[in-house]
Amino acid sequence: MQPTVSYAARHRPETLELVLIAVAITAWMLPVGFGLRSHLGFRVAIVLPLVAQCAYRLSRSAPHTGGRRFSLGAGLLTAFVLVWVVAFARTAVPGLVPGALLFDSLYVLALLMLLVALGACLLVALLARAGDENRLGPARFAAILTLGLYVAANVIAFAVGIRQPPGIYLGTYGAQMLSSLGVDWSRTLFPFADGINSLGVMAGACCVTFFPLLRRRNRPSWRWLSAGVAASCVMVVLATDARGALLAMVAILALRLCPHRLERYLRWAPLGVSLMPIALMIVAPAAIQMLSPLNRTPGTMDSAQRRALADEYCDGKMSSTEALSNRPIVWRAVIEELHQPSWEHIVGYGLRGQVASGTWMRWRCLFLSYGNPHLVGAHNLWLQMALSIGYLGVVLTAAFVIWLVLQLGKLDSASADPVIRGLRNGVQFIVLIGAIESTLEPDFLGTFVLFLIAGVIAVSTAAVSPRNQAKNTYA
């Protein structure tokens, strides 16, 4: 007679799998809050359980090939991953590209291991649950929770008094949104953040992703958890003074309220907006000056004694003379670099391509308050990718974005799982805010991971033939 195995015991490996996915990003960034930004031993220790769990899942219940089909999305996701693997490798191996010695090669390789392990672990978990929405739902929720927990952990740590050691920024800037409400506040660097802008943008993406889950009726615990995450995201957006992220959040949520027929056309608006700065800089650069009122107020590093240095570096263009907080200076520098044909423009310069290309030298004057100004990207999704992964990577990413928007739209119409709608919101947010931020550069780890998660979930769903997809009873 077979011994009876309890339900909890049977599902313990699956629970562990989802916990590892959910805490991955928080654990990866945890050393930052304690001055251990480059502590590789801890980072590798975070990656190894993901690799072990993925191997365990494959050894015990390898996904069956029957009923699965290759999709265009699978090919595009594979190509997207491969071009970034090449970009990481070129940066991690000293001597392959100029400037590679500026990076901690081992850290770059460890980050690549994390991204590949997290993506593979999630893909295997989803394929192992294919056709069973009651098991797929928790896996999808755990995937987006990896970002939600990270944002919430930053808010909680800041509230209890944990502060990140100085080094990233040498000065402070006022938080204009809170100041307009009468609150005297400076833009906040949260304890486990890799930057003010990157966390603020990630919080915006996370907020619109979790927003649809607030209406979940049969999972009240998940609804309250989602509400806590969304509230944490709003706090981070305000504290980091991420004005662009707030506007993008409002725009994406407003898009969801449009009639279906109108929304079918407007869903491409974020892609068009993300390309608009490039078009304006080429065709009508003077038009951007109309946005000068949106400039950020000067910070503590913009004092008179710094102007001589800034004038020398930026040919007399001080930060107060350009619209959109100097972004046109950055865009112009990248466009000028790309106007000089080079074979490296086809495949890119590798991770943080602005360093290997030397382009960062043209805008270093704008970031005197940064401890590492060479790490500041192009402030545009497509321009940064042109530097890092080249024209080939830009074309592949654009094709994948288009497929992803279409696929998530189909899944949203056919599924009652609000996570799908949340991911749809998140992808469109990433593309929209990509007009002014480098959201698909791994330095923007949160938005890069969210895009990867959305791609894995969409591809894993498309890989299952319709006859094997059970009706969603999970929402």
Tens of pLDDT along 422-440?
999 999 999 999 999 999 9
**Residue 304 pLDDT class (50, 70, 90 cuts):** very low
Q: Assign 474 a pLDDT band (cuts: 50, 70, 90).
A: very low
- In this predicted structure, the answer to whether residue 155 has a pLDDT above a threshold of 70 is yes
- The total of structural domains in the chain comes to 1
* pLDDT, mean of residues 102-106: 59
Mean pLDDT, range 362-374, rounded to an integer: 79
Residue 76 has, within 13 A of its CA and on its CB side, a CA count of 22
Query: What pLDDT, on a 0 to 100 scale, did the predictor assign at position 320?
Result: 42
Please indicate, yes or no, if residue 296 is contained in any of the structural domains: no
SS3 (DSSP) at 115: helix
Looking at residue 454, its pLDDT comes to 96
Joined together, the tokens standing for residue 461 give: 């769903």
d(CA 140, CA 434) in angstroms, rounded, equals 24
pLDDT tier at 284, thresholds 50, 70, 90: confident
Largest Cα span, the chain: 85
Mean pLDDT within 90-108: 60
**What is the C-alpha to C-alpha distance for residues 17 and 407, in angstroms, rounded to an integer?**
26
pLDDT of residue 77: 93
Q: Tokens in use for 268?
A: 């491409």
157 pLDDT more than 90? yes
Look at residue 156 and tell me if it is in a domain: yes
Band (97; pLDDT cuts 50, 70, 90): very low
Percent of the chain surpassing pLDDT 70: 80
CB 21 within 8 A of CB 57: no
Is residue 253 in some structural domain?
Answer: yes
Confidence tier at 321 by pLDDT (50, 70, 90): very low
Would you say residue 309 lies in a domain? no
Residue at 335 is within a domain: no
User: Comparing 322 with 92, which gets the higher pLDDT?
Assistant: 92
* Structural domain for 102, as ranges: 12-273+384-468
> What pLDDT does residue 204 have?
96
What is the arithmetic mean of pLDDT over 333-358? Answer: 89
Radius of gyration of the chain (CA): 22
Q: pTM of the prediction?
A: 0.88
Q: Is 336 exposed, middle or buried (0-12, 13-18, 19+ CB in 10 A)?
A: exposed
Mean pLDDT of 231-252: 94
Q: Which two tokens stand for residue 210?
A: 């979790």
pLDDT at 293: 52
pLDDT of residue 100: 46
Residue 441 lies in a domain: yes
Assign 6 a pLDDT band (cuts: 50, 70, 90): very low
Is 372 part of a structural domain of the chain? no
Burial of 9 (0-12, 13-18, 19+ CB in 10 A): exposed
Q: Place 314 in a pLDDT band, splitting at 50, 70 and 90.
A: low
For the chain, give the mean pLDDT: 81
Q: Residues 42-63: what's their mean pLDDT? A: 76
Q: Which of 165-174, 303-312, 354-363, 400-409 has the lowest mean pLDDT?
A: 303-312
Look at residue 357 in the predicted model and tell me its pLDDT. 87
Mean pLDDT value across residues 350-365: 86
Quick one: pLDDT band at residue 133, thresholds 50, 70, 90?
Answer: confident
Domain membership flag for residue 355: no
Kindly report, residue by residue over 219-230, the tens digit of the pLDDT: 778 888 999 999
Pairwise pLDDT comparison (107 vs 273), residue with the higher score: 273
Strand positions, DSSP E, 44-90: none
